[in-house]
Amino acid sequence: MCIRDRNNDKYSDDNKVHDTQRLKELQALPLERKVLITQSRILEWYNYWNGQVYISFSGGKDSTVLLHIVRNLFPDVEAVFVDTGLEYPELRAFVKTFDNVTWLKPNMNFRQIIDTYGYPLISKEVANIIRYARKGSYTRWCKIYNFDAIKDKYTPRYNLSRYKRLADSDIPISEQCCDIMKKKPCKDYEKQSGKKAILGTMAYESGMRKKEWVRTGCNAFEALRPISKPISFWTENDVLEYIIKNNLQIASVYGKVIKTDEGYTTTGERRTGCMFCGFGCHLEKSPNRFERMKITHPQIWDYCIRPKDQGGLGMGDVFDFIHVPYGKEKR
């Protein structure tokens, strides 16, 4: 059950304080121990909501592992897949091989999103800051220009000045894509069904997800939108090791799972988020996700890169502006 940690004013799904040190301790545990803790968190969540829960299933390797663990405990738990139109074709085909999966669709497609709100670029945090700065937010403007809105002096606290050129451009930028295309269909489904979500996200993936774990642990019972993230203290290596040890089938876009001196990896794609997402692509080594897309999915790549006035999404022009390679032929 949910226990209030009065000393730290945090909601906890066990009797331990959730802080970065505790997260490191959990991440360092062997896989067998992690599986037992994850099963415990799932049992707590299932029992707390009287079985009215569902698995958010993307077809990716993380949610495939989650689905396997949950259905080993409760075989009849429903899975929900949000068909945004941005998934790798291999993922959509893989999802179709599972029973008891409900398919949802967003009210807007990606073309409508970028026309109405803007492109998902750099990161959710940076896109949010630029969006609000353009709307006149003084504090966001100060972050971009390395200026402290409170002390009225320059400070190294915010390292966002590198994006000043992007903020001053006419390229529409927004972090709202995920909220509209993925989260809203799930929220609407939860209101209609009364079910609570179980997600396969992990704290190591971003600073935001790490903060969420510190705030609530795996099971956020009393959040405005209650969510369980029972593998949130796992790492990518844990997921791949679980796949090998349990002989799980995963979507073909990943290739094979192999063991190296550094741990486990895949011979194909390592991450399979939305195909057209620009978050983080400026940090990837070449060949990045778009350069690989040109080779593996050339027709989809062409639609993504082609100028908007020629029927594409216009992301080639955007990548040219932020100096991200995408497979453009040199002249």
The least confident of 8-17, 146-155, 245-254 is 8-17
CB atoms within 10 A of CB 311: 11
pLDDT the model gives residue 209: 86
**Average pLDDT across the chain, whole number:** 90
pLDDT at residue 290, as a whole number = 97
* Per-residue model confidence as pLDDT tens digits over 301-314: 999 999 999 999 99
Q: What pLDDT shows up at residue 147?
A: 61
List, for residues 91-138, the tens digit of each pLDDT value. 999 999 999 999 999 999 999 999 999 999 999 989 999 999 999 887
**Burial class of residue 21, CB neighbours in 10 A (0-12, 13-18, 19+):** exposed
Instruction: Show the domains of the chain with their CATH numbers.
Output: 3-110+177-253 (3.40.50.620), 121-168 (no CATH), 280-322 (no CATH)
91: closest CA among 239, 273, 231?
273
Q: Quick one: average pLDDT of 85-93?
A: 96
Q: Let me know: does 54 contact 198? Beta carbons within 8 Å.
A: yes
Check pLDDT > 60 for residue 64.
Answer: yes
Q: Note if the pTM is more than 0.85.
A: yes
Q: What is the average pLDDT across 26-54?
A: 97
Instruction: Tell which wins on pLDDT, 6 or 289.
Output: 289
| CB-side neighbour CA atoms (13 Å) of 303 | 9
Per-residue pLDDT for 158 more than 50? no
Cα 230 to Cα 189: distance, rounded to the nearest angstrom: 21
Mean pLDDT of 214-240: 95
pLDDT of residue 141: 79
On the question of pLDDT at 258 being above 50, the answer is yes
How far is Cα 170 from Cα 90, in angstroms, rounded to an integer? Answer: 35
Residue 16 — very low, low, confident or very high, per pLDDT cuts 50/70/90? low
Q: Is the pLDDT of residue 273 over 90?
A: no
> For position 12, what pLDDT does the model report?
39
pLDDT tens string 170-209: 999 999 999 999 999 999 999 999 999 999 999 988 878 8
